[in-house]
Structure 1
Amino acid sequence: MAHNDDLIIELRHGYLLTDAFELLGMRLYGSDWTRNELAAETRAHPDERTHAHKELQIRIANADENVQSIDRNILKALDASEIAALKAKRDEAIKRRSLILGKQNTVYPPDASYMANHAAYERRCHVKAALIEALSEGRFDANLLNLGGIQSHWWRAGSGHKYYLEINVMTFPALDSRHRRGSVRINQQGFDAWLKGVQPLDWSKSRDTSEEEKAEFWFREQLQQNSDPVKKDIILNRMDELFDLSARKRIRIWDTLAPATWKKSGRKK
């Protein structure tokens, strides 16, 4: 049994989908990951909710003004038939106002709880998409308990297979008469190796990213951002400024990650 920041995982048969989801979420979001993401519900965007509430308040104000306007006209009216018609109009206006007021219980501005759920749902969607993308690309192996390996294309839309993250199940196409569903298990070693290469969205909030990993991520970014080679001493000095690493570890990162073109004489930046 493994423990990761209080996440207890039974490893006898590998990770469950939910285990991988939580581990990836913690890796990407660090301290922002609340572990409420799996249960987060889809709702209207907070901006839409705020706009709808403002629109409702305007409609209520207009309905109030309409009733008050009719009341003023009733006071001015002299003819009995005109007064009766205005009163009937007022009754209808009050009914419409009541219907609008009744929506206040369902259209309210987003409070702190609403905002937290929305943020959790967005994190859920991002992590789920990243996990399924990695599975569909075969970044690590997965299998169905007692049924054999899962082919990477099964995770893709249109394959006929469906997965259910919350209950860790994959179902087979209706035409497959051999099986109906299976319990998903993800290869632990393969997933852990892949996860180590996933860059946290914000290093300052990372729960488990070491200084060495941060330096590796930073150097990979330099490789992507600089088309021309940068000299070794420039990179090592910059690492020394940014990360709490020994000279030996900084050199190891350079030796491991720097391409041959960079290990030759590169221009300084």
Structure 2
Amino acid sequence: MLEKEQAIQALADRLKRFDAPLSLPEDWIILCDDDDLRNMSRAAAKALLARAKNETARRWLYARFDPTDMDLELFEKSECSDDTQVFDDKLLKQRALNSIDDVVSTVTALRNTYASLASDLTQPLARQATVAARVAYGYPEERPDRTDCFDEDVRRQCRRTINEIYSSEVKFSGTVVYLISTDNPEFVKIGFTTCLERRLKSLRTASHVEPTIHLTIEGTRSLERELHTRFEAARYSREWFRLTDAIKTFIASAGSSEVRAGDASTLQRRMVRRSRHLLSN
């Protein structure tokens, strides 16, 4: 069972080069192109591909409905500028549900674009070969209506993912600014969360690699913005930064001596004071 799950995760990773989950070539092309799938039995390969496509969509939806991102959207729209403002799960979940229409609209537009593409009838031999390949792999002669990773009922798939995200019991960890790397160790995410445990779960879902926690600091969005400004030259995209020597030095300086400090609350207070000192230098 574990090997099958690993195979699904690995294939989901490879589908990224096909621009999954929003755009994919026809399934039979992937079955022909992928070395592992090509050497499997036809039925097993098709089943594995279906599971991997579902996983890529699940990862994308997790990122789209992530509680931290929902919290950020509400924070930015709120008239209240208090950095300590925290939105509860009920409000965050409703925000996620309200954004389902945007996802459905995106997927529908892509499907309509694909469906409107004219079949190439100018090269009859090539078309015959394509049809023959579809049939050989167990698919209908006609081109499929869609080539993406989402369910036919996208709205239901979104609700299923949102319920999965918000149904788990997690402890409130307080407002935390974190520096975390995921599948690419050359980059670090400098972000803010009101629940580090839930944020880690989201990152684990989006990547098969266990996140590396470089540093966590008790603080608000104000501290997050200060760090973003300090390391602006290393910014890659949004909250993602190149893990430069300057950031490595900051991590080492902010976390080294405090590791041997006393209890967790003392540790957090010292880390905040230390980070403020580093930011002022």
Q: TM tier, shorter chain?
A: under 0.3
Structure number with the bigger relative contact order (C-alpha 8 A, sep ≥ 6) is 1
CA radius of gyration, larger in: 1
The two structures have a TM-score, normalised by structure 2, of 0.26
The two structures have a TM-score, normalised by structure 1, of 0.27
